[in-house]
Amino acid sequence: MRISMKRVIGTVIALTALCGLAVAVPARAGAAAATLYVDRTNPSCSDSGSGTSTVPYCTIGKGASVAVAGQTVEVVKASVYSEQVTPAHSGTSGSPIVFKADTTGVRVTGHTHGFTISSRSYVTVEGFTVKGTSGAGIYVSSSSNITISGNVAKDAGMPALNKTGNGILLTGTTSSVVSKNQTFSNTNHGVSLIAGSTGNHVSRNTSFSNARGYTRAAAGIDIESPNNTVDR
């Protein structure tokens, strides 16, 4: 069979053009990591890095400042974190932002609140011990679809200065879950829902030994807003 030279040349030109197009297409940017790691005990930790398992962040707050929908900020080693964690972004219904203590003994302490979640949605906090804050251990305001689960909140408030603090406080917060937490030895209610916090579910929490310094009046669970569900 005879093949014309014109057809051969045309085929070569076409293949060359296709190869050129393939080379010209830029590489796709890598997706954001699903997990951001925090470990202040790791000598390689750096808040200037990208929160990998080999070079984790030194503070939970750094993870909170960069985490976006679908990411988990995971604290991998027991240690004391003297900071107030304030998420900078919201998650979505299918992709919440999760703050997770991967082991017991991860303590957040020493500031007004351990976690402050304000005007956010779809954020989860689980597995932390929040201790010795001057205000509420975990403070959630003007937010929705927040999950506070499996935490210990204790020793909140400053009785000597008549400043009381709840273990967990929701104010103006809706459609959220407070479950499986332990709240004790706080200077105000263990768990409190106030100021229009409606449509929330409070379940399977353990709360005891909460009392204001100047009175013995402090409930384990205090609900001051309507249309919430409380289960044992």
Q: What pLDDT was estimated at residue 32?
A: 75
DSSP string of 51-78, one letter each residue: --SSS-BS-HHHHHHH--TT-EEEE-S-
Q: How far apart are CA 83 and CA 58, in angstroms?
A: 11
176: how many CB neighbours lie within 10 A of its CB?
25
Q: Bridge-partner residues for 153, per DSSP?
A: 130, 183
Is 19 inside a domain boundary?
no
Fill in the DSSP letter of residue 162: T
56 or 217, which is more confident: 56
| Residues 6 or more apart whose Cβ sits within 8 Å of residue 14 | none
Residue 122's pLDDT band (cuts 50, 70, 90): very high
| Whether pTM exceeds 0.75 | yes
| Residues 6 or more apart whose Cβ sits within 8 Å of residue 170 | 140, 141, 146, 176, 178, 192, 193, 194, 197, 200
What does the pLDDT average to over 201-211? Answer: 95
What does the pLDDT average to over 81-107? Answer: 97
What does the pLDDT average to over 167-192? Answer: 98
Is 9 inside a domain boundary?
no
226 or 10, which is more confident: 226
Whether 138 shows a pLDDT value over 70: the answer reads yes
Q: What pLDDT was estimated at residue 7?
A: 44
CATH number at residue 192: 2.160.20.10
Q: How far apart are CA 156 and CA 130, in angstroms?
A: 8
Is 17 inside a domain boundary?
no
Is 120 inside a domain boundary?
yes
Q: How far apart are CA 133 and CA 119, in angstroms?
A: 21
What does the pLDDT average to over 189-209? Answer: 97
Q: What pLDDT was estimated at residue 216?
A: 64
Q: What pLDDT was estimated at residue 30?
A: 52
Q: How far apart are CA 138 and CA 85, in angstroms?
A: 10
What does the pLDDT average to over 37-60? Answer: 97
| Residue pLDDT, tens place only, 182-192 | 999 999 999 99
Q: What pLDDT was estimated at residue 232?
A: 79
| Residue pLDDT, tens place only, 4-23 | 434 434 444 443 443 443 33
Q: Residue 79 sits in which domain range?
A: 33-231
Could you give the number of structural domains in the chain? Answer: 1
Is 18 inside a domain boundary?
no
Chain Cα centroid distance, residue 119: 14
Q: What pLDDT was estimated at residue 17?
A: 40
Is 105 inside a domain boundary?
yes
Where b means 16+ CB within 10 Å and e means fewer, 31-51 reads eeeebbbbbbebeebebeeeb
pLDDT exceeding 70 applies to what percent of the chain?
84
